[in-house]
Amino acid sequence: MDRRQFNSLVALTSLGLVAGATSAFGETEKRLSVIALVHPGMILLDLAGPLTCFNMMMADVHLVWKTMDPVRTDTGITIAPTSTFAQCPEEADVLFVPGGLGGTTAMMDDDAVVGFLRDRSGRSRFVTSVCTGSLLLGAAGLLKGKRATSHWYTRDLLPQFGATPDSRRVVEDGNVITGGGVTAGIDFGLTLAARLRDEKTAKFIQLLLEYDPQPPFDAGSPAKGGPALAASVLSRRSSALEAAKAAVERAARKI
């Protein structure tokens, strides 16, 4: 049994859905198609949260990379692509880009990756990202005139791509939907479920996931964590942030 068959079985068992036939409420619905870029250095959780929601919507998810070689994530766990750029569908309901500061910094200089996103964006109903994945959307020229978000420590780079930064956890502007840092991926996935299906389906998935955040500490944003904690994070990530800034400047000059 391969990954896709396993995920479909889990979703069928959990939701009682018939793949490609009925929704959680017994209504016939079109099967969705998702193109998800996987790239070296990506944050695994950026993909895992949205992917869980996509699977529960019974979407056909294409994990796409240049080759079929395993892609190493931030945790050391590897992701096996299911398709290459050349093989993946021409059109999709969702084009999705997860983040990861080091990974997206490198990808902004990669013409093949940027060109792929630019090409598929015009044939996708929704163009989306989580965390620093929005920097890659920006590098592809897909955020001009749009409100968008990113991880809090890279949000101030978005104006270089013609975007207006927004601190909300999930930002919708037309068919562009961007999520904030890492854990916002589930919020993003549920928001997209409401857009692609309906609010009832999104709530069904939320309850099934028991997504009811009650963090042990109230420090999940710079405002809540305070200036000292935010400064500590920025200091420890200063080299990576400087590299990201330089990559954004190079990418912005190209568009």
What pLDDT is recorded for position 237? Answer: 97
| Strand ranges in the chain using DSSP code E only, listed in sequence order | 33-37, 60-65, 71-72, 78-79, 83-84, 92-97, 124-130, 147-148, 164-165, 170-173, 176-179
Q: Which of 131, 139, 163, 202 is catalytic?
A: 131
User: Is 16 domain-assigned?
Assistant: no
In a domain, 197, yes or no: yes
* One pLDDT digit (tens) per residue for the chain, 255 residues: 445 544 444 444 444 443 343 445 445 578 999 999 999 999 999 999 999 999 999 999 999 999 999 999 999 999 999 999 999 999 999 999 999 999 999 999 999 999 999 999 999 999 999 999 999 999 999 999 999 999 999 999 999 999 999 999 999 999 999 999 999 999 999 999 999 999 999 999 999 999 999 999 999 999 999 999 999 999 999 999 999 999 999 999 998
Structural domain count of the chain: 1
Does residue 144 belong to any structural domain of this protein?
A: yes
Q: pLDDT tens digits, residue range 154-198?
A: 999 999 999 999 999 999 999 999 999 999 999 999 999 999 999
Other Cβ atoms closer than 10 A to 229: 12
Does some domain include residue 9?
no
Evaluate whether 174 touches 146 at the Cβ level (below 8 Å). Answer: yes
Taking the C-alpha atoms of residue 87 and residue 52, their distance in angstroms, rounded to an integer, is 23
| Closest by Cα among 87, 90, 95 to 134 | 95
Q: What is the CATH number of the domain that holds 77?
A: 3.40.50.880
Answer yes or no: 53 catalytic. Answer: no
Q: What is the pTM of this model?
A: 0.89
Give the pLDDT confidence score for residue 30 in this predicted structure. 81
Show the domain range for 72. Answer: 32-254
CA 127/CA 160 separation, integer angstroms = 19
**What is the rounded CA–CA span in Å between residue 19 and residue 36?**
20
Please tell me the distance from the alpha carbon of residue 96 to that of residue 217, in angstroms, as a whole number: 30
Asked, for residue 133, whether it belongs to a domain, the answer is yes
Would residue 219 count as lying in a domain? yes
Which letter, b or e, does each residue of 135-158 get, where b requires 16 or more Cβ atoms within 10 Å of its Cβ?
bbbbbbbbbeebbbbbbbbbbebb
Q: What is the pLDDT of residue 150?
A: 98
Residue 226 lies in a domain: yes
Q: Residue 8 falls within a domain, yes or no?
A: no
